[in-house]
């Protein structure tokens, strides 16, 4: 028997809320991460890539220059619905305005070039590929930046510090401290060299100049790190430093100073070969106390000096090592960024083809359309949507299954971890997950802890770090704490320095705390404290968990293992009738 909904009285139909706490902040758009990330790619990510490869010059650099001026997506040939019924890909044609400059004659040719059909995201945050709906799962990876770790030396029992400088694209730098107080560096996992050799190669020539950089930090009379390193250093000036670096990185080739200089320049100071990304620069600035602009995406001499200085400080007992599982050090690569890195691969292949064609054709007769072959670009995009570990056939057993799939965070995939290598630490629930990643919803089996779900109110900021909302706690004129209506979004790093009250603390009608002691947490510590110590308050009890876990009634009375099974099994529920 079916009931026509319009015949049911409004009083019965009305939505009722049985919650014991008022809703302070309405639920956000639950697929916002997918939609904003794809929008970023279309508006900024694509033009970033074209700026990166422009201009493409011929091998001599004297005849032709090809520049991408702008790009646009035109109207799709088939609608979303037609693509589903005809097993087609819902896409929009991508066109680029390209300028070709003949350097000999000064002649400029402009043309609109078709760069292939680009799969387009639907309003629901999915892609229709060959008639089937697919979802690109967001990836949780280690953020570019510098990380310091501690290792206990077995022979001396001392705690020695190591550093790792990870760019978004380019050569890794690994710094080590030996038990003889020598700081060495490995470039891209190649052979070790003393860190002072690298400093000489980038322009700090004499021993005095290098020692002067670290006088304020290398203060332990028993362990003189810079003096010990200089003693072990086989070089004495910049030219020798360059040659030594070249010998370690290119062992077979005969070294010359010019070759060595261009190798060091291209390895760390050339944007085409080395890119920290905005997030890497942001993390370096914060950790090393620098104030360099976000546009400075390659390394600087100051970065390297500060990193070495920080290792010396840590070895002298000032500061503590980094926690690589902290969400301040892990970021989300959402759909836009994943497509961008795949599109970059296609564009670089295309660039090679353009260069080859430039050397074959006559410069006077060349046109952009003749030079550009779009096949590598189309193939790279097809490969990503069809074959990537992160592009998945959308689960649609029920609406919750769809929604959870779009909010999933995976530590697996290209550039991430593998099931076999991942230990317990990576899979574990971390205190920084609070309000950002659900501690309950994760698969059982080999992927446990590697695949998670975004918390209900969690959102991804422009740098890729997950933020959670909090209500600010202020003081009135009688120095009493009260909760304001101001909502502040905090990253894991920012929240660690604040004391946060739980959402179920009792408040009067003016927002003042009614109890003398309230449940709070600060970093990894959970305890009772006076409301006077509070900086923020949670917006809702469900902000800790994911959408799936939040649907379980009286979740707090559930055993965690059963709640995990329940949140996973809700996604398998189907109507009986």
Q: What is the CATH number of the domain that holds 353?
A: 3.90.1100.10
Residues 252 and 293 in one domain: yes
Same domain, 197 and 252: yes
Residue 511 lies in a domain: no
Given 267, 301, 324, the domain boundary residue is 324
Domain co-membership, 123 together with 150 = no
Is residue 275 in a domain? Answer: yes
Same domain, yes or no: 291 and 354: no
Last residue of a domain, one of 301, 324, 347: 324
Is 111 in the same domain as 217?
no
Residues of the chain with pLDDT below 50 are 1
d(CA 511, CA 476): 11
d(CA 183, CA 177): 5
CB 126 within 8 A of CB 134: yes
Report pLDDT digits (tens) over 113-171. 999 999 999 999 999 999 999 999 999 999 999 999 999 988 888 899 999 999 998 99
Full 3-state SS string of 109-158: EEEEEEEEEEECECCCCCEEECCEEEEECEEEEECCEEEEEEEECCCCCC
Alpha helices in 316-423 (DSSP H): 335-360, 368-371, 375-387, 399-406
Q: Are residues 245 and 381 in the same domain?
A: no
Residue 239: which domain range?
145-324
- How many domains, in total, are found in the chain? 2
* Residue 242 in domain: yes
Question: What is the rounded distance in angstroms from the CA atom of residue 368 to the CA atom of residue 110?
Answer: 8
The residues, any chain, with a CB within 8 Å of residue 432's CB and separated by 6 or more, are: 326, 327, 328, 492, 495, 496
Residues 155 and 267 in one domain: yes
119 and 165 co-located in one domain: no
Q: Do you know the residue count of the chain?
A: 577
CATH number at residue 286: 3.90.1110.10
Q: pTM for the full model? A: 0.91
Beta-strand relationship, 536-538 and 525-529: unpaired
The CA distance from 215 to 226, in Å, is 9
User: What sign does the CA torsion over 273, 279, 281, 284 have?
Assistant: negative
Residue 561 lies in a domain: no
pLDDT recorded at residue 317: 87
DSSP assignment string, 492-538: HHHHHTS-EE-TT--B-TTSBB-SSSEEEEETTEEEEE-GGG-SEEE
Within this chain, do residues 304 and 183 fall inside the same structural domain, yes or no?
yes
Per-residue model confidence (pLDDT) at position 11: 67
**Residue 522 placed within a domain:** no
pLDDT score, position 1:
44
Is residue 276 one of the residues assigned to a domain? yes
Decide if 157 is inside a domain.
Answer: yes
Assess whether 153 and 73 both reside in one domain.
Answer: no
In this structure, is residue 39 part of a structural domain?
no
Contact yes or no for 518/502 (Cβ under 8 A): yes
Question: Which of 393, 417, 442 corresponds to the end of one domain?
Answer: 393
Phi, psi of 486, deg, nearest 5: -75, 125
Beta bridge partners of 184: 176, 194
Q: What is the pLDDT of residues 413-456, one digit of tens each?
A: 998 999 988 889 999 999 999 999 999 999 999 999 999 999 99
Q: Which residue has the tokens 């400088």?
A: 165
> Do 112 and 207 share a domain, yes or no?
no
Tell whether 156 and 233 lie within a shared domain.
Answer: yes
> Which pLDDT does position 4 carry in this prediction?
59
């Amino acid at each position: 028997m079916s009931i026509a909904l319009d015949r049911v009285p409004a009083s019965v139909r009305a939505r009722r809320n049985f919650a014991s706490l008022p809703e302070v902040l309405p639920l956000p758009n639950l697929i916002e991460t997918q939609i904003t990330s794809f929008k970023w790619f279309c508006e900024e990510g694509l033009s970033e890539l074209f700026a990166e490869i422009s201009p493409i010059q011929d091998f001599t650099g004297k005849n032709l220059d090809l520049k991408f001026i702008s790009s646009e997506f035109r109207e799709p040939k088939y609608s979303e619905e037609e693509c589903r019924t005809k097993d087609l890909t819902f896409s929009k044609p991508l066109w680029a305005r390209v300028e070709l400059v003949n350097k000999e004659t000064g002649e400029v040719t402009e043309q609109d070039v078709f760069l292939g059909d680009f799969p387009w995201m639907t309003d629901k945050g999915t892609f229709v590929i060959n008639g089937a709906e697919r979802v690109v799962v967001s990836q949780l990876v280690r953020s570019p930046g510098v990380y310091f770790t501690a290792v206990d030396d077995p022979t001396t029992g001392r705690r020695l510090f190591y550093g790792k400088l990870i760019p978004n694209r380019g050569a890794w730098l690994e710094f080590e401290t030996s038990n003889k107080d020598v700081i060495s560096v490995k470039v891209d996992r190649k052979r070790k060299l003393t860190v002072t050799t690298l400093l000489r190669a980038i322009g700090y020539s004499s021993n005095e100049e290098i020692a002067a950089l670290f006088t304020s930090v290398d203060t332990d009379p028993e362990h003189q790190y810079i003096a010990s390193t200089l003693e072990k250093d086989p070089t004495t000036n910049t030219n020798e430093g360059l040659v030594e670096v070249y010998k370690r990185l290119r062992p077979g080739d005969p070294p010359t100073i010019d070759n060595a200089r261009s190798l060091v320049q291209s390895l760390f100071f050339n944007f085409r070969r080395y890119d920290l990304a905005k997030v890497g620069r942001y993390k370096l600035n914060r950790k090393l106390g620098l104030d360099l602009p976000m546009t400075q995406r390659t390394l600087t001499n100051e970065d390297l000096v500060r990193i070495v200085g920080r290792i010396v400080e840590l070895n002298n007992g000032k500061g503590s090592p980094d926690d690589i599982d902290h969400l301040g050090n892990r970021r989300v690569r959402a759909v836009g960024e994943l497509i961008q890195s795949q599109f970059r691969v296609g564009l670089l292949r295309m660039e090679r083809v353009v260069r080859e064609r430039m050397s074959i054709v006559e410069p006077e007769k060349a046109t952009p359309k003749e030079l550009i072959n779009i096949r590598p670009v189309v193939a790279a995009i097809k490969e990503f949507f069809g074959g990537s570990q992160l592009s998945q056939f959308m689960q649609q057993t029920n609406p919750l299954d769809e929604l959870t799939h779009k909010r999933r965070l995976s530590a697996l995939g290209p550039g991430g971890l593998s099931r076999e290598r991942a230990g317990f630490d990576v899979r574990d629930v971390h205190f920084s997950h609070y309000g950002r990643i659900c501690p309950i919803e994760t698969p059982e089996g080999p992927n446990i802890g590697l695949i998670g779900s975004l918390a209900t109110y969690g959102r991804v900021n422009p740098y890729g770090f997950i933020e959670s909302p909090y209500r600010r706690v202020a003081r009135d004129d009688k120095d009493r704490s009260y909760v304001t209506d101001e909502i502040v979004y905090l990253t894991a790093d920012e929240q660690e320095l604040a004391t946060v009250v739980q959402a179920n603390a009792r408040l009067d009608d003016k927002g003042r705390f009614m109890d003398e002691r309230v449940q709070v947490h600060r970093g990894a510590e959970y305890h009772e404290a006076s409301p006077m110590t509070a900086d923020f308050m949670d917006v809702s009890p469900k902000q800790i968990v994911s959408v799936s876990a939040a649907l379980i009634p009286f979740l707090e009375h559930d055993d965690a293992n059963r709640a995990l099974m329940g949140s996973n099994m809700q996604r398998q529920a189907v109507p009986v009738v």
